[in-house]
């Protein structure tokens, strides 16, 4: 099966040894490698009645590319571990694998290794490797009082897409696609690093929750301005149709895989990024200097 | 949970950035990184009534270290993805994680990242990274007619241990331990590479099946000598008690994670390795110039 899945697939220059041996060999030109793993489970992170197998594969890759980007790195390779029941159809298997490979090829990288095992549930686990291209990693702990907070990518779209799917609708297509196959702005990660980003994170848990990680790691207070947080017109339209709150989706919806970062000044913020808050002394995350919603955990919960 | 699992754990020098950020950063001193992933599924690769959680963690690491070793590389870091039901006890979770961490620390490496997700079945997926220390990778495709075949590590012990457990016994302890927590001779991989090994593989599927992979990739014929294949006295004892065949276990038992390699001559074979066959022109794998057993696939099947 592995032969069938890997045959004729794209492998770029940095894949020094691809699939088919005990392990792969990937170039790590600056003597360091960025590595992260992300796992999607059927029934928890995806449903095959909501998403085509290709879309699940693409989504798994998106989450990983976003994590690599959030370090300021460019992706260099993926490894894929695919656990699934023996009864899984060839269509589903090939679809999952194709989704992973296509998304990898879009990012200019290859799937260099992996394994397929038998399991009661489909579990797609992807490891992404990346290169910092000689730069320091942009961590969660570098935000300083006086920095500005900026975001890049769509906020709340995945949550809106899920709300649409939950009602049994299939449109607006753009929202549903943002949920099924988020396209994280992973090229913006290295751009932000070059521009001097002091901290960066992937918004997988929702903007407030993820900035909470940055605030904690950096020992700072982050205050967002509700009028500056980008809320797309389409998001407002869907919210109004479904009775949701677009700002809540943008602030707390997960799985967007947008990027949030801090920069020393507004002048340093690259185009494509939107300034929406500032870093102060203190702790925690607020919106317009107030705690958001007043409820406990602002973070995202997967739908199960 | 991740904080609790990672706190106070060993991280060596090559872990440039450990757990807690979007991704880890690991040194890759020669500008390349070896990468491999291996996944164990409850009920397929392990049973928690046969193995303690710590042992499952250790076994998952062993399989990965062996894959890295089979390239002639030394391990540098692990990433752990742990999928398990919400009902999994803290003891099982902590045990699994401890098994992984302890085995990593034994190998001088750290668990630099990972994730924990909810799933119906326990799925332990580990990615191992490694360094070739400036050498070329030892692949499966370098065996040449005239080379000798040698093995390092225990052969058939895991199969014997499983046979013991299947009968409801718990001893001989050494055999059961070889099944529950194989200790692959991973330090022997880089030693073989330095000694000029022309090909190498980890015997996860059983010696004959794995040498079949080498024969295919190298387009050669491999002939083993039954009187040279190392069959330990303890293996004979268990076989005689249970009515098994020790040579069959040594040739076809899987999950030993021993190493098999080819060398240009007997003189090149490092100590700790046992010469047990030769490489000829042709195709396939034979024992004493005959096809083993005559049956179809000589390979290992997991017990389900």
A126 and A50 assigned to the same domain: yes
Are A81 and A164 found together in one domain?
Answer: no
Q: Would A60 be classed as within a structural domain? A: yes
Question: What residues make up the domain containing A163?
Answer: 148-287
pLDDT at B292: 85
Cβ separation B39–A202 shorter than 8 A: no
DSSP state of A167: T
Residue A14 maps to a domain: yes
| The pLDDT of residue A294 | 44
Same domain membership, residue A120 and residue A224: no
The pLDDT value given to residue A301: 39
pLDDT digits (tens, 9 = 90+) for A243-284: 889 999 999 988 888 999 999 999 999 999 999 999 999 999
A297 in any annotated domain: no
CATH number of the domain where residue B121 is located: 3.30.1330.10
B23, B41, B143, B213: best to mutate for the A interface, most A CBs within 10 A: B23
Of A21, A30, A125, the CB nearest to B125: A125
Question: Is A302 part of a structural domain of the chain?
Answer: no
Q: Which of A13, A20, A107 is nearest to A58 (CA)?
A: A107
Quick one: chain A helix, strand, coil %, rounded to 5?
30, 25, 40
Nearest by CB to A119, from B68, B121, B139: name it: B121
Residues B166 and B105 in one domain: no
- B166 within some domain: yes
With vertex at residue A33, the alpha carbon angle to CA A32 and CA A35, rounded to the nearest 5 degrees, is 150
A138 domain residue, yes or no? no
In this structure, are A177 and A246 located in the same domain?
Answer: yes
Among A100, A131, A162, residue at a domain's last position: A131
Residue B34 forms part of a structural domain: yes
Helices (H), chain B: 2-6, 53-69, 90-106, 157-166, 173-180, 188-194, 207-218, 233-242, 246-252
Q: Which of A131, A15, A32, A11 lies closest to A72 in space, CA to CA?
A: A131
Q: According to the model, what pLDDT value does residue A46 have?
A: 87
- pLDDT value, residue B297: 41
A156 and A250 co-located in one domain: yes
Q: Do A41 and B117 touch (CB under 8 A)?
A: yes
Residues A195 and A69 in one domain: no
How are beta strands B221-224 and B15-17 bridged, if at all?
unpaired
Same domain assignment for residues B90 and B161:
no
| Residue A38, marked binder | yes
- Nearest CA-CA partner of A222 in A234, A232, A213, A235: A213
A142 domain-assigned: no
**Which residue positions in chain B have pLDDT lower than 50?**
294-304
Render pLDDT for A182-212 as a digit per residue (tens, 0 to 9): 888 999 999 999 999 999 999 988 999 999 9
Say how many CA atoms lie within 13 Å of B115 toward its Cβ.
23
Q: Residue A134 has which token pair?
A: 């000689």
Q: Are residues A125 and A192 in the same domain?
A: no
A90, pLDDT greater than 50: yes
Average pLDDT, chain A: 91
- Residues A36-56, mean pLDDT to the nearest whole number: 91
pLDDT at A297 over 50: no
Q: What is the CATH number of the domain that holds A248?
A: 3.90.650.10
Q: Are residues B117 and B154 both part of a single domain? A: no
- When divided into structural domains, chain B yields a total of 2
Same-domain pairing of B176 and B65: no
DSSP letter string, A250-295: HHH------EEEEESSGGGPPTT-EEEEEEESSSEEEETTB-SSS-
């Amino acid at each position: 099966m592995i032969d069938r899945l890997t045959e004729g697939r794209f492998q770029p220059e940095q894949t020094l040894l691809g699939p088919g041996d005990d392990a792969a060999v990937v170039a790590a030109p600056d003597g360091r490698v960025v590595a992260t793993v992300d796992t999607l489970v059927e029934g928890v992170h995806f449903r095959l009645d909501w998403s085509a197998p290709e879309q699940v594969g693409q989504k798994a890759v998106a989450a990983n590319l976003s994590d690599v980007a959030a370090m300021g790195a460019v992706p260099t390779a993926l490894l894929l571990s695919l656990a699934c029941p023996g009864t899984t159809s060839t269509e589903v298997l090939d679809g999952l694998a194709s989704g992973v490979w296509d998304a990898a090829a879009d990012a200019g990288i290859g799937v260099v290794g992996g394994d397929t095992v038998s399991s009661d549930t489909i579990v797609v686990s992807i490891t992404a490797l990346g290169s910092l291209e000689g730069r320091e990693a942009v961590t969660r702990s570098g935000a300083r009082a006086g920095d500005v907070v900026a975001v890049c990518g769509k906020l709340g779209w995945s949550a809106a897409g899920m709300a649409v799917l939950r009602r049994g609708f299939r449109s607006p297509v753009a929202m549903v696609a943002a949920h099924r196959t988020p396209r994280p702005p992973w090229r913006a990660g290295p751009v932000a690093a070059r521009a001097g980003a002091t901290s960066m994170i992937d918004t997988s848990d929702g903007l407030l929750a993820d900035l909470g990680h940055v605030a904690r790691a950096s020992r700072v207070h982050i205050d967002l301005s509700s009028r500056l947080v980008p809320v797309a017109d389409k998001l407002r339209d869907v919210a109004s149709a479904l009775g949701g709150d677009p700002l809540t989706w943008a602030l707390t919806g997960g799985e967007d895989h947008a990027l949030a970062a801090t920069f020393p000044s507004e002048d340093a913020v690259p185009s494509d990024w939107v300034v929406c808050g500032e870093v102060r002394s203190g702790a925690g995350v607020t919106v317009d200097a107030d705690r958001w919603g007043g409820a406990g955990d602002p973070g995202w919960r997967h739908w199960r």
